[in-house]
Amino acid sequence: MTAAAQLMKQMQEPVQPFAEWMRRVQVDMEAALERFLPAATATPVRLHQAMRYAALDGGKRVRPLLVFAAGELFAAPIAVAQRAAAAVEMIHAYSLVHDDMPCMDDDALRRGKLTVHVQYDEATALLVGDALQGQAFVLLTAADEGIDAARQIVMLHILAQASGSLGMCGGQAIDLASVGLNLSLTELEQMHKLKTGSLLRASVLLGAWSGKVLLQDEVAALEAYGIAIGLAFQVVDDILDATADSATLGKTAGKDAADNKPTYVSILGLPESQALAEKLRNDAHQALAIFGDKAQRLRDLADLIVQRKA
């Protein structure tokens, strides 16, 4: 059996415990990103080193986990899911690099490491983000690997929409404009649906599309799940920002309050925020009903997102 076939067998083994599956996806994703990023020795060397610094060795890989968990619903070929997961993770990594820059959130610490503009310089950070976005689309347009072009186009469209001005970038713009304002709960939710929610939702859809052409009710169920975990993710982020310390988070804690940014905790208070996170976890579970047992990984991920400590 080839290494890839072995991996595929291991990853699709239904009785594999969640924690082990998760660790395996994370290790596999690191190797995939290693392979899908331009080599550190390729010209221009400094840019490529900085791209790798930004994308490798960091984070919980929540988006790739969602891609793989959704991929399992429809037995997505590993190679297809890997590319989709790496592409989403590159978009996510680019957004972090740009968000951390002085003209945005001006943060020096990310995933326990110095941010790219501190470790390198601002111009390099700007280009790293730009090039990581481009590389995500290079990946998803690579020569066919077990998926027809029409499905590839759908996946590319989902990723492009989710990351642009009507998705992630739009959410970030609303976030910036909301500093010091009294947002309503609805406005806060709208902002997060775009800023973090759109890419999390896209991860779920990309994983599922990696397996097959989706039916309308499947899309609707996965959208509902994606929206619920997207909001849950942000509510928990706000709870952690208010309650955990920087060492645990790997980034500066208490920053939102210090920056006078509206959060779920600042609007709802801590106990109601925790109750909301629980409600959203429940919504996510409900949305998966039509998939039966096959959606267990997605259920486990919803639990993980709500119960995480960092």
Residue numbers at the binding site for a second copy (CB under 8 A): 38, 42-44, 46-48, 51, 94-95, 98, 101, 103-104, 121-127, 129-131, 133-135, 137-138, 141-142, 148-150, 152-154, 156-157, 159-161, 163-167, 169-170, 172-174, 176-177
- Rank residues 133 and 274 by Cβ distance to a second copy and give the closer one: 133
Please, what is the minimum distance in Å from the beta carbon of residue 178 to a second copy?
10
- Rank residues 85 and 236 by Cβ distance to a second copy and give the closer one: 85
Q: Which residues contact 7 (CB under 8 A, 6 or more apart)?
A: 28, 78
Please, what is the minimum distance in Å from the beta carbon of residue 61 to a second copy?
22
Please, what is the minimum distance in Å from the beta carbon of residue 227 to a second copy?
17
DSSP for residue 13: -
For the beta carbon of residue 256, count every other beta carbon within 10 angstroms: 20
Q: Which residues contact 298 (CB under 8 A, 6 or more apart)?
A: 66, 69, 70, 73, 204, 225, 284, 288, 291
- Rank residues 2 and 43 by Cβ distance to a second copy and give the closer one: 43
DSSP for residue 21: H
What is d(CA 88, CA 206) in angstroms, rounded to the nearest whole number? 9
What is d(CA 203, CA 63) in angstroms, rounded to the nearest whole number? 6
What is d(CA 12, CA 29) in angstroms, rounded to the nearest whole number? 15
Please, what is the minimum distance in Å from the beta carbon of residue 85 to a second copy?
18
Q: Which residue has the tokens 């409600």?
A: 279
Cβ atoms of residues 220 and 211 within 8 Å? no
What is d(CA 182, CA 54) in angstroms, rounded to the nearest whole number? 33
Please, what is the minimum distance in Å from the beta carbon of residue 154 to a second copy?
8
- Rank residues 146 and 164 by Cβ distance to a second copy and give the closer one: 164
- Rank residues 140 and 288 by Cβ distance to a second copy and give the closer one: 140
Please, what is the minimum distance in Å from the beta carbon of residue 241 to a second copy?
20
- Rank residues 144 and 217 by Cβ distance to a second copy and give the closer one: 144
What is d(CA 219, CA 154) in angstroms, rounded to the nearest whole number? 12
Q: Is 109 helix (H, G, I), strand (E, B) or coil?
A: strand
Please, what is the minimum distance in Å from the beta carbon of residue 149 to a second copy?
4
- Rank residues 152 and 263 by Cβ distance to a second copy and give the closer one: 152
Both tokens assigned to 202: 């896209």
